[in-house]
Each structure stands twice: as C-alpha cells, then as structure tokens.
Amino acid sequence: AVRSEIFNRVCAARIEQGSWDQALLGDIFALDRSRASFQSEEIDEEILRRIAEHDIHPSGPLWGRGDLGTGHEVAQLEQTIVTELEELRLGLEQAGLEQDRRALRLVPQEMRWEWVEPSQLQLNFWLPAGSYATVILRELLDY
C-alpha cells in the first residue's frame, strides 16, 4: 500500500500533465506484458510508434533502495513527489525494498461486453499478473 501511494501520486501527476501515455525524455519504458524495461536517450519515431501500439508503456516508481534510473523531467517529477512523502520513502528504504518500476497504463486484452439484460452489462477481459480488474472498472465507471 505504501509503494502504491508513491506510484499513484506519480501516475496522478502524469495524468494531470497529460503525459501518462506519452514518452518523456528520461522515461523508463516497460515492455507490455513483461517485467523487462529500458531507458531511451531520445524519443524517436520508433519509441513513439511502440507507445502508440501499446508495445511499451511509460513507467512509474515502486519505491525502494537504489537509483530511480529515470532522467531529465521524469526524474525531477518523481523526486519532487517523493520529497513530499519523506516518511514513506525512508520506511520503504529501511525495510530493504529495492527500486522497481510498473507501467503507468494498463491495457485490458480481449475485452468483450454484452448487455445480458437492459440494466446488466457483462464485461470479459484479461489482465497481466499483478493487475486488478477493479482499477479498470473504476476507470470505466468514472468515464
């Protein structure tokens, strides 16, 4: 829950600035449906294409010990947020957790829906391990 608080604050800030689904200089990109990630020194056409195709996603921090790995404006944003949450940061580091990353966006796969009754909608989709369907449902209801 503590790691999620920091991640959620970073994600909310990126949503507010309209960059949650955009490549920023200094981003670490998470490969879709994988724990692998990489940083690119530049935002080129290949990165933009892969973002648009949901092959890679901007990521946010799961806080712990070690270097963030981000750079430029992304590192500045993440450092600003974690500075506001100093107690949480220290607690996670003292607990021995290591820095990790998670994609800022979650794309449901094979999504289908059907009105089984006039007031009852049935949704079917699958998500990668570690993802929560309640997050998708909340966003759909808020939309």
pLDDT exceeds 90 at position 9: yes
Candidates 110, 118, 7; CA nearest to 59 is 7
* Three-state DSSP string of 16-53: HCCCCCCCCCCCEEEECCCCCEEECCCCCHHHHHHHHC
Across 39-48, 65-74, 130-139, least confident range: 130-139
Cβ atoms within 10 A of the Cβ of 82, count?
A: 18
Give the pLDDT confidence of 91-140 residue by residue, as tens digits. Answer: 999 999 999 999 999 889 999 999 999 999 999 999 987 788 888 898 88
**Domains observed in the chain:** 2-103 (3.30.2340.10), 109-142 (no CATH)
* Residue of 58, 63, 70, 61 whose CA lies nearest to 29: 58
> Residue with structure tokens 């607990």?
95
Residue 79 pLDDT exceeds 90: yes
**Cα(48)–Cα(35) distance, integer angstroms:** 20
Q: Is pLDDT at 52 greater than 90 in this prediction?
A: yes
Q: What single-letter DSSP state applies at residue 59?
A: E
Q: Is the pLDDT of residue 89 over 90?
A: yes
pLDDT (0 to 100) of residue 39 = 94
- Reply yes or no on whether the pLDDT at 82 is more than 90: yes
**7 within 8 A of 60, measured Cβ to Cβ:** yes
